[in-house]
């Protein structure tokens, strides 16, 4: 640091309540090893929120002692859906509910404010890119992967030769909304799971916290009439308790996790026939459990992923952590690549 030819890129991860930022030097080393969080202020509209992104950048530069002039490019990720060029979907989304956000070009707005090139991805794709580079290191550009990140929704992304597959409209890698076969996955008499996107029977309609609350728990409670979760009045709260119950071996919770593992396995089977990746990464809330439970869950996912013999010999199944920093770090990696390989 400090020499006149040393330069960096900044990664900015924009979330519903906070922005997280990181700095990556031109040699590929992160200069910030912890969360650098500032308020995102997205509920106050685009103008204030773009200002908050500028503050996030200034804050993280202060932590590293670097001047703004050292920054060559900025990587930005926002919760999907947003187009390839960073325009918030015209349908709006949970974090961007104010009318001013509809069709707002957040990438260009930030670029104009900073007078620096800004590269935009959705948060799932950025996290997938970070998982890929963290796992493969120097081999990243020679490998491919798919990441499924189970949270409120089902995020993730598809990486080929170390780069995000973002698609013509920027909407590639929307793994949660891939329809998967439901035969043998849902029980006889279990209603077809519905997703917030309007699809029925896609991956997110099973493998997400929202799915537990809206689809899985309401059904499985009817099969366990004496279950303790009947006493929890809030469905959202009850859904959040399922993970702990699963760790303790509760039969209802294990039914839910079994269905989620099968859904992710079937999604990975589609990926195996589509891009045939080297690695299948699994992240999100399920990773933040005991080692025993998360290894069990990964094993179930793997058992439901149908690979050909040749694929099974080379494929890796791995849990990915560092979820809090994954978006900012993945965005920074994408920005560095855009400078090095425009």
Q: Are 324 and 11 in contact (CB under 8 A)?
A: no
Q: Least distance from C-beta 129 to Zn ion, angstroms?
A: 22
Question: Considering only 91-99, 157-165, 173-181, 219-227, which stretch makes contact with Zn ion by CB under 5 A?
Answer: 173-181
| Contact characters 204-243, Zn ion, x per CB under 5 A | x---------------------------------------
| Contact characters 180-209, Zn ion, x per CB under 5 A | ---------------x-x-x--x-x-----
Helix axes 291-304, 251-274, angle to 10 degrees: 50
Choice between 197 and 339, CB closer to Zn ion: 197
Q: Among residues 120, 133, 163, 177, which is the contact residue for Zn ion, using CB under 5 A?
A: 177
Q: What is the DSSP string of 137-168?
A: GGGGGG--EEEEEESSSEEEEEEETTEE---S
Q: Shortest CA distance to 49 belongs to which of 89, 9, 16, 75?
A: 16
Choice between 144 and 208, CB closer to Zn ion: 208
Q: Are 162 and 133 in contact (CB under 8 A)?
A: yes
DSSP state of 281: E
Phi, psi of 259 (to 5 degrees): -65, -40
Q: Are 22 and 328 in contact (CB under 8 A)?
A: yes
Q: Least distance from C-beta 275 to Zn ion, angstroms?
A: 20
Residue 174 as a binder of Zn ion (CB under 5 A): the answer is no
Phi, psi of 12 (to 5 degrees): -120, 125
| Contact characters 242-281, Zn ion, x per CB under 5 A | ----------------------------------------
Chain residues that interact with Zn ion, rule: CB under 5 A: 177, 195, 197, 199, 202, 204
């Amino acid at each position: 640091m400090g020499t006149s030819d040393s330069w960096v890129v900044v990664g900015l991860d924009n979330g519903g309540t906070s922005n997280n930022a990181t700095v990556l030097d031109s040699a590929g080393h992160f200069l910030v090893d912890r969360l650098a969080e500032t308020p995102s202020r997205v509920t106050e509209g685009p103008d204030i929120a773009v200002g908050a992104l500028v503050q996030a950048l200034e804050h993280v530069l202060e932590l590293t002692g670097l001047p703004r002039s050292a920054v060559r490019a900025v990587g930005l990720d926002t919760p999907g859906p947003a187009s390839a060029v960073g325009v918030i979907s015209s349908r709006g989304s949970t974090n961007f509910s104010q009318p001013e956000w509809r069709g707002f070009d957040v990438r260009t707005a930030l670029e104009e404010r900073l007078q620096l090139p800004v590269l935009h991805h959705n948060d799932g794709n950025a996290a997938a890119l970070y998982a890929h580079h963290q796992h493969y290191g120097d081999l990243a550009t020679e490998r491919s992967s798919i990441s499924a990140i189970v949270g409120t929704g089902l995020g993730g992304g598809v990486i080929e030769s170390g780069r995000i597959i973002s698609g013509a409209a920027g909407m590639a890698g929307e793994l949660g909304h891939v329809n998967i076969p439901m035969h043998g996955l849902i029980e006889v008499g279990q209603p077809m799971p519905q997703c917030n996107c309007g699809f029925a029977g896609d991956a997110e309609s099973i493998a997400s916290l929202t799915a537990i609350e809206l689809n899985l728990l309401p059904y499985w409670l009817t099969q366990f009439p004496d279950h303790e979760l009947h006493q929890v009045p809030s469905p959202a709260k009850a859904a959040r308790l399922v993970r702990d119950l699963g760790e303790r071996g509760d039969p209802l919770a294990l039914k839910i996790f079994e269905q989620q593992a099968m859904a992710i396995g079937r999604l990975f089977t589609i990926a195996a026939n589509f891009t045939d990746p080297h690695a299948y990464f699994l992240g999100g809330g399920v990773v933040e459990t005991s080692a025993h439970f998360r290894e069990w869950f990964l094993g179930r996912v793997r058992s439901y992923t149908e690979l050909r013999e040749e694929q099974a010999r080379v494929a890796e199944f791995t849990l990915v952590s560092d979820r809090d920093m994954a978006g900012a770090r993945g965005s920074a990696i994408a920005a560095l690549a855009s400078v090095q390989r425009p």
